[in-house]
Structure formats: structure tokens, C-alpha cells
Amino acid sequence: MATALKLVEPDNRVMDFVSRKHQMLINGKWSDAASGKTFSTFNPATGEVLANIAEGDHEDINRAVQAARAAFETGPWSKMTPSERGRLIWKLADLLEENLEEFAAIETLDNGKPLKVARVADVPLAVDLFRYMAGWATKIEGNTIPISVPYAPGAKYLAYTVREPVGVVGQIIPWNFPLLMAAWKLGPALAAGCTVVLKPAEQTPLSCLRLGELIQEAGFPDGVVNIVPGYGETAGAALAAHPDVDKVAFTGSTEVGKLVLQAAAGNLKKVSLELGGKSPNVVFGDVDVDAAVAGSASAIFFNHGQCCCAGSRLYVEQNIFDKVVEGVADRAGKIKVGSGMEPSTDMGPLVSEEQLKRVCGYLDAGFSEGAKAVVGGSRHGDKGYFVKPTVLVNTDEKMKVVQEEIFGPVVTAIPFKDGDDLVRKANDTVYGLAAGIWTKDIQKAHRTASQMRAGTVWINCYNIFDAALPFGGYKQSGWGREMGHDVLEMYTEVKAVCTAL
């Protein structure tokens, strides 16, 4: 006889943390906002207040930047060897792993994602990222460079480059993978020897604040990592504009990315941006249909479509269009939507009421332009921020739902005639973050990969992430790369040293 599944209740440790007074971490001390203000975060599964958090603004950012500057210039961090830095980052990874269950539950309560996903994806990926970056701390090297100097005949020089930390870094992260985005940002900055002021998203600050406690427990010196929760328009904008910040790293919408860039112009701080996407997922007529259907469903519905690289535009070769759309719709219809704490849940709520309205607004816009939902197409239930997994057909390139990032569980399916037709359609967007290609033809796979204007191309797979694999966007999907050794370029300056021999 089948037993009814029980809701997993977060354990006392999690609830003690969540219900605690949440302060900000500046110079190794937890403190209230200078203004004394707080803001609430909400449980997206219920819409109820989850926690109250100190609301940082420009004054707190000023204090945090001062602490990060002092730690960078004169603190113990500035004297540490790369090996010592690497060991601290590794220790942080160990602590995170030891507390995996707690972090997964915090992430589910704050963001809404299924607990089973946070357990196998968000937290382990963050652990792995820190370990990968711990290894890089001792391997950030320059070159020796043979130089010729045409106007100094006969002279000899020893020339070499060193990579030095860029300095004080401001990091602004979004709510879709709160802990993992913090790891993507902190890992390389710390490996390179920078100091950091991190601003988590207003919707999901809890896992970053708990990570701050582990950062202290690991033994990072005061001021190396400062965490200031608050709103983007105040705390985020102050960080992006701050004249004593050397670099700002941002992940979020393309719209806000442009604001960050403008704010950074004041002191010409370095900028890296990981922004939006509208990624094409392409299914050719020769595929193993079952595998392509499963992969295409997961490309859009993973994390409720709240992924910058979501395969939100499904292009299918004409001869198998109906079969693939039917398959993806069938899978969408079987996705169990519910609270992330429920063990059988495949898809939780969107992160906020604002996102719920935004995604439903896109659905309305699609329908008014002639799109049809094969499955889904509306809100799910009337409590919490749930949306039904949706497949839209009767769409074309001019429609808002095909051009703009919806950031919800909504895919548009469009048929294509041949390779040329496909490439034109797939690249017809301002974004260039990722693309998926499904085919058994190896030549077609790599030819199409070379034609995609995207920073990541997945062939016969989707959403494969690894700390060693660089990730970032062409066109308006961003500047620079996260992860891999490429990210270290974003956190280092190159110094050329030339000595006359």
C-alpha cells in the first residue's frame, strides 16, 4: 500500500536561524543598518513573511567598503600566501558541505525551489566551486616575455608579467540561485586575493548571511568578506557607484546591468556582467526523440525557468515538430507543482509576487498576439506564487514572448525548415548566453555550434555546469566569464615588469 508523502519540516537549527534577527556583516562584526531599518523576505510557497533583515543603504556600503579597503591594503589578508588563501577557501567548502542539509532547507524556504534540487544542485555546486577556486589560489601566474626593443640595439632585458588582485570588489547577485551565485562571485575573488562587499538580492538574503557565519568560522580575517543586504536602488546602486571600489561584478537583468555600468563610469571601475538570456534549444529531425524531449523539457523547466540560460525558445525541425511539442507538453503536464518542502514536488513557486505578475503578464501578452498554450498558460492555485509549466505555439520572432526574457516556466515552440532558417531564427535576439543542439549528426552539431552567437553551447545535453567550464554571454548577455580559469582575469590586473640586464 502506498504511504502518503509527508512534508519535510525544516529542523530546529534551520528555523532558529530563519527566525533570528538578521544583521549585516561588516569588518567581521554583525550589526544593524545605520538607519536602523529592516525589510522582510517572504516564503514564496505561502506569501507569508519568512524573516526580517537589516536594510543596508549607502552609509552601510561606505562602512563595508572602508573595511574591505583596510583588509586589502594592510590587514592580515594582504600578507597571506596564496597557499594560506587556498586553505581558507577549501575550509569554507568543507564547512558548507558539513551544513549541506541546513543550506538546502534555507534556500528552499527563501527561494521556493524544491529541497531535493537544492540538495543535489545548489549546495554541492557551491561546495565544488569553492574547492575548484581554492586550487587556483596557488596557480595565478604571469609569463616571462622575450622582448626585442628595436630602438635599443644590443640591450638585454628581463621582462615578465605578474597577476595582482584587482582590489576591493563589489558583488551584486540575484535570487535564482542565491548561494551558488555567491559562490561564483566569492570563490574567484578570494582566490585572486581581493576583498569583497557582497549584496545579495532582497528576495533571498538568508543563505548568504548564513554563509557569512561560515566565512567567519573558516577563519577569514575581518573585512575580507562584508555582506550588506538591502535594495538594489539603494545599497546596490551605492556599491556600483562607490569611488573606492575597484571592480563591480553583477549578475541579474540586462536592464539593471546597464545601470550598473553607468554607475561604474564615475571612477572607471572594472565591470563584469552576467545578464539575461533567451536561449534557443534546437531539435533536428534526426534525433532520438525521447532524449530530445526529456532534455528540452528540463532545459526550460529546471528551476521553474528562472535560469538566465533557460532554453526558452524551442526550435524543432518541421518533420518532427508536432511529436516533440506533444512530448514536451506531456512532460510539462506531469510536473508536480507545489511547495519546495514537499518531497514529491518537481517545481516550486516563482520567487516573488512581482515575478508572478511579470510571468502572467507575459502570458497575457502572448495570448493577445495570437499564441496558444498546448499546456499550462496560467497561475497555479491562488496561494503562493505558482505558475503552470507552459508550452506556447503559434508564436513567431516578432512576439514579445519570443524576444523578451520571461524568467518563468514558459517555452515558445517554433518549427524550422533547414539549417539556414534555423540559424537566422536562433540568433535573432539581443541575447547570446546559451544554446542547445540535439542531433545525431556530428558535423551538423558542430557546424551549428559554430554558428550560434552564444557563450555556451550544449550538444545533446542542457544545463551542464561545472566549476571548470567558463560561463557568460555574447551580445547583451554580458561582459566577461564566470567560472573556469577565465574568471580569474576578471579579478586580476596584469603588471608588466621590465628590468635592464
233 touching ligand NDP, by CB under 6 A: yes
- Strands 492-500 vs 410-416: parallel, antiparallel or unpaired: unpaired
405 touching ligand NDP, by CB under 6 A: yes
Q: Which is nearer to ligand NDP, 327 or 366 (CB)?
A: 366
State the Cα angle at 178 between 108 and 357, rounded to 5°: 75
Full DSSP string of 344-393: T-SB---S-HHHHHHHHHHHHHHHHTT-EEEE--SB-SSSSS-B--EEEE
Residue pair 110/204 in contact by the 8 Å Cβ criterion: yes
Residue pair 371/393 in contact by the 8 Å Cβ criterion: yes
> Looking at 168, 240, 347, 488, which residue binds ligand NDP (CB under 6 A)?
240
251 touching ligand NDP, by CB under 6 A: yes
- From 100-108, 158-166, 168-176, 340-348, give the range in contact with ligand NDP by CB under 6 A: 168-176
Mark 302-331 with x for binding to ligand NDP (rule: CB under 6 A) and - for no binding: ------x-----------------------
473 touching ligand NDP, by CB under 6 A: no
Reading the block at residue 395, the C-alpha cell is: 508564436
Mark 324-363 with x for binding to ligand NDP (rule: CB under 6 A) and - for no binding: -------------------------------x--x-----
- From 235-243, 319-327, 415-423, 482-490, give the range in contact with ligand NDP by CB under 6 A: 235-243
Q: Is 174 exposed, middle or buried (0-12, 13-18, 19+ CB in 10 A)?
A: buried
- Residues that bind ligand NDP (rule: CB under 6 A) add up to a total of 27
Residue pair 332/373 in contact by the 8 Å Cβ criterion: no
- From 67-75, 92-100, 246-254, 341-349, give the range in contact with ligand NDP by CB under 6 A: 246-254
Residue pair 172/251 in contact by the 8 Å Cβ criterion: yes
Report the SS3 class of residue 305: helix
CB of 221 to ligand NDP, least distance (A): 26
Reading the block at residue 174, the C-alpha cell is: 540575484
Q: Which is nearer to ligand NDP, 240 or 316 (CB)?
A: 240
The residue with cell 548568504 is 208
176 touching ligand NDP, by CB under 6 A: yes
- From 95-103, 198-206, 326-334, 392-400, give the range in contact with ligand NDP by CB under 6 A: 198-206
- Strands 456-459 vs 478-479: parallel, antiparallel or unpaired: unpaired
Report the DSSP beta bridge partners of residue 30: 25
Measured between its terminal Cα atoms, the distance across the chain in Å is: 84
121 touching ligand NDP, by CB under 6 A: no
Beta strands in 257-330 (DSSP E): 270-274, 280-283, 313-317
CA 253 to mean position of chain CA atoms:
11
**Which residues between 202 and 231 bind ligand NDP (CB under 6 A)?**
202, 231
CB of 468 to ligand NDP, least distance (A): 20
61 touching ligand NDP, by CB under 6 A: no
Reading the block at residue 57, the C-alpha cell is: 543603504
Q: State the sign of the Cα–Cα–Cα–Cα dihedral 284, 287, 293, 298.
A: negative
> Cα(274)–Cα(472) distance, rounded to whole angstroms?
6
Q: Which is nearer to ligand NDP, 248 or 314 (CB)?
A: 248
Q: Which is nearer to ligand NDP, 275 or 332 (CB)?
A: 275
> Cα(461)–Cα(83) distance, rounded to whole angstroms?
36
> Looking at 188, 276, 340, 436, which residue binds ligand NDP (CB under 6 A)?
276
Q: Is 3 exposed, middle or buried (0-12, 13-18, 19+ CB in 10 A)?
A: exposed
14 touching ligand NDP, by CB under 6 A: no
- From 69-77, 194-202, 316-324, 409-417, give the range in contact with ligand NDP by CB under 6 A: 194-202
Q: Which is nearer to ligand NDP, 41 or 439 (CB)?
A: 41
33 touching ligand NDP, by CB under 6 A: no
- From 18-26, 254-262, 388-396, 442-450, give the range in contact with ligand NDP by CB under 6 A: 254-262
Reading the block at residue 256, the C-alpha cell is: 539593471
The residue with cell 562602512 is 63
Mark 407-446 with x for binding to ligand NDP (rule: CB under 6 A) and - for no binding: x---------------------------------------
| Residues identified as active-site | 274, 308
Residue pair 240/170 in contact by the 8 Å Cβ criterion: yes
Query: Cα-flanking dihedrals φ and ψ of residue 108, to 5°?
Result: -65, -45
279 touching ligand NDP, by CB under 6 A: no
> Looking at 172, 208, 245, 249, which residue binds ligand NDP (CB under 6 A)?
172
> Looking at 275, 332, 414, 426, which residue binds ligand NDP (CB under 6 A)?
275
Of 276, 270, 283, 239, which is closest to residue 257 (Cα–Cα)?
276
- From 20-28, 138-146, 255-263, 364-372, give the range in contact with ligand NDP by CB under 6 A: 255-263
CB of 256 to ligand NDP, least distance (A): 3
The Cα diameter of the chain in Å comes to: 90
259 touching ligand NDP, by CB under 6 A: yes
Q: Which is nearer to ligand NDP, 167 or 236 (CB)?
A: 236
65 touching ligand NDP, by CB under 6 A: no
Give residues in contact with ligand NDP (CB under 6 A): 172-176, 199, 201-202, 231-233, 236-237, 240, 251-253, 256, 259-260, 275-276, 308, 355, 358, 405, 407
